[in-house]
């Protein structure tokens, strides 16, 4: 019987929890890997950027229809926020205040 088969059967003693791949998002003890946390952060940022993009489009429509100065300012503020969130993370790391 090969070592990996004995590990799956629990014959190796000690921690017999099978560990099949280093590509898993979690370490053997169930903690997040650094790469997993970075990927999660990037995914959340991308989701937020997509939501802001939709909001920017809606604010533009509103500002064009209403001719309200406040609507135009809100649109411009949302554009600034969208540009900040959608910027690559490497570019935003240096801008820590």
Q: pLDDT (tens digit, 9 = 90+) per residue, 2-21?
A: 555 555 555 555 555 555 55
pTM of the model: 0.54
Copy the structure tokens of residue 17.
């929890």
Higher pLDDT, 87 or 84: 84
**Domain extents in the chain:** 1-31, 33-97
Residue that has been written with the tokens 């990927």 in this structure: 39
Cβ burial of 85 (10 Å; 0-12, 13-18, 19+) is middle
């Amino acid at each position: 019987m090969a070592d990996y088969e004995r590990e799956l059967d629990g014959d190796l003693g000690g921690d017999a929890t099978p560990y099949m791949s280093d590509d898993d998002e979690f370490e053997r003890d169930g903690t997040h890997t650094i790469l997993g946390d970075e990927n999660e952060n990037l995914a959340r940022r991308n989701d937020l950027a997509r939501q802001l993009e939709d909001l920017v489009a809606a604010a533009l429509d509103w500002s064009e229809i209403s001719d309200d100065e406040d609507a135009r300012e809100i649109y411009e503020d949302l554009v600034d926020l969208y540009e900040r969130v959608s910027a690559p993370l490497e570019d935003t790391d240096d801008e820590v205040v």
